[in-house]
Amino acid sequence: MADTMEKVVSLCKRRGFIFPGSEIYGGLANSWDYGPYGVELKNNIKKAWWKANVYMRNDIYGMDAAIIMHPKTWEASGHVENFFDLKADCKGCKKRFKAADLKDIKKCPECGGELTEARQFNLMFKTHTGPIEDASSLAYLRPETAQGMFVNFSNILDSRHPKLPFGLAQIGKSFRNEITPGNFTFRTREFEQMEIEYFCRPEESDKVYQDWVEARKSWYLDLGMKPENIRFRKHSKDELAHYAKACTDVEYNFPWGWSELEGIANRTDFDLKQHSSFSGQDLRYFDEVKKERFFPHIIEPSGGVDRCMLAFLADAYHEELVKDDTRVVLRLNKDLAPNKVAVLPLLKNRAEIVGIAKKLALDLKKDMVAVYDDTANIGKLYRRQDEVGTMFCVTIDVQSLEDKQATVRSRDTMGQERINIDNLKQYLIEKLK
């Protein structure tokens, strides 16, 4: 299984999904850059999430809050006080370890050297706003997008006048100075989150929480994730974060084992109460029927974009033998596939064929992500498109000059059909619906 991970990492580099960060300088450990196909796949995941959670609902509003927030935010949220990991350093090789990973190990697992006592280490990245670097200018890069939504609660009430239950949704970068990043893009110091903060009446929160667990399950399955690779794990009491009454992790069976993709937490009224008390603003909701004010409870489905993408890549990676040759194909769902169609001329030295293919690609681009490629022979071009999960390849050949038809090849079945070039766009639009 670890082998699958190596293959996915290698495909990501080879085909332009994910590159090692700052590679020409020898790389920056655990930083990754998304290449041409990577950014498309990541955007498609975000689009699918936004569509399901914002556009398809009447009760959720989108947001995009600032990364650097007022430092009091992080006092109110509990991050200044609680967002710590215990770490120990090796006095020999200077490597740093999470105390939880060391358990009863007393020596450095890497070099056998002596370890320091475990010390507390805050995971927030510190910075300063303005030219003077002192305590008054201290600021943090947000370690979660959630707080940007809590602090805008009354702005949403005043501008959109929603009634409970309703939610806010946000996608954006978060930063954590992780002690043990690793497993490719699974745990990094800079990553993207997709978070929903769903506000409801306290007495409804248990049901709303369960409904969100179901909704999130459907989202992953609807996008083609294999049901045997996803599971839901309820946190035990001692695992819960300081703000949570309950939490269910969505776990994916990654090549190295089951690991968290997303957490769905019942945060109670912790956040709105804390921000009310630290800001001095009354963040209670006013019930016009009962004429009473109260703090809504919050259910939070919070997932990572990078982890989600890695899970979909591992899930879609497929190898099969075709005529004694290994065909690698990414069987991504059509909504996630970075490329929908590739237009390929069978003979690149025939100007009429190239002309038709280029014109067709340009026309298709108006309605779907389409590429034109003539940089190799047709066999190689098909393989390359399979490896990046392109849904259809369209080939223009000598016969196309006569019958005005093109060959359409499906990624999944490798079946081929001749389709009139004039009808081709409509044909593809139907298939990609």
Cβ proximity to ligand GAP, 48 vs 360, nearer residue? 48
299 near 248, Cβ under 8 Å?
A: no
Cα–Cα nearest to 164, from 273, 50, 64, 289:
289
Residue 194 CB, nearest distance to ligand GAP (Å)? 8
Residue 339 CB, nearest distance to ligand GAP (Å)? 26
* Cα–Cα dist 304/171, whole Å: 9
Residue 122 CB, nearest distance to ligand GAP (Å)? 14
Give strand ranges (E) for 309-372.
317-322, 325-330, 341-345, 370-372
* Cα–Cα dist 21/23, whole Å: 5
206 counts as binding ligand GAP under rule CB under 6 A: no
Q: In this structure, what are the phi and psi dihedrals at residue 194, rounded to the nearest 5 degrees?
A: -120, 110
Q: Which residues pair with 126 in a beta bridge?
A: 140
* Cα–Cα dist 339/346, whole Å: 20
144 counts as binding ligand GAP under rule CB under 6 A: yes
335 counts as binding ligand GAP under rule CB under 6 A: no
Stretch of 2-10, 185-193, 215-223, 338-346 contacting ligand GAP, by CB under 6 A: 185-193
263 counts as binding ligand GAP under rule CB under 6 A: yes
302 counts as binding ligand GAP under rule CB under 6 A: yes
Q: In this structure, what are the phi and psi dihedrals at residue 144, rounded to the nearest 5 degrees?
A: -160, 155
Cβ proximity to ligand GAP, 165 vs 181, nearer residue? 181
Cα–Cα nearest to 301, from 164, 172, 197, 151:
197
Residue 176 CB, nearest distance to ligand GAP (Å)? 5
Residue 345 CB, nearest distance to ligand GAP (Å)? 42
261 counts as binding ligand GAP under rule CB under 6 A: yes
Stretch of 148-156, 191-199, 220-228, 362-370 contacting ligand GAP, by CB under 6 A: 191-199
Name the site residues for ligand GAP (rule: CB under 6 A).
Answer: 144, 146, 176, 178, 187-188, 191, 193, 195, 260-263, 300, 302-304, 306-307
